[in-house]
Amino acid sequence: MTTYISILRGINVSGHNIIKMDALKKMYEALGFHNARSYVQSGNVAFECVETDVKELANKITDEIANQFGYQVPVIVFTRGVLENIIDKNILAKDDSKDTKFLCLKRICAYESISNCFIAIAR
């Protein structure tokens, strides 16, 4: 089985789109995923499954959230290996810090758009 990380955008923010993590973990289990675990109330969930198509996994999660909770939530799914690669190659990481920041994009953007994001972050 492969370990995946799903990033759910816009849940539990300022009292909007509230989803309890216990209910979210149960939903993942009902989808046939194993060992689902969440990080605080963020909506970030690690889980294991045999499926390999991350787009299909994201669609399943998105559809089931709409089904069970009534929210349209963008979801990005990637493997643990991809996350480790992001962290290892992160040019914004500080050597002496455990705090790593990165940006997840659902679609490829023009270089200029990404450059503007980094400029805004640096200010």
CA distance 89 to 83: 10
Distance between CA 10 and CA 116 in Å, rounded? Answer: 22
By percentage, how much of the chain surpasses pLDDT 90? Answer: 35
- 1-123 is classed CATH 3.20.20.70: no
Instruction: Report CA 104 to chain centroid distance, whole Å.
Output: 8
- Compute the distance between CA of residue 103 and CA of residue 36 in angstroms, rounded to an integer: 23
H helix or E strand, kind and range, residue 62: helix 54-69
Statement: residue 94 has pLDDT above 80: no
How confident is the model over 41-91, as pLDDT tens digits?
Answer: 777 899 999 998 999 999 999 999 999 999 898 898 988 888 777 777 777
Q: What is the pTM of this model?
A: 0.75
Average pLDDT (89-100) is: 66
Structure confidence at residue 36 (pLDDT): 94
Q: What is the mean pLDDT of the chain?
A: 79
Angle between helix axes 21-30 and 54-69 (nearest 10 degrees) is: 120
In the block, which residue shows the tokens 């799903």?
6
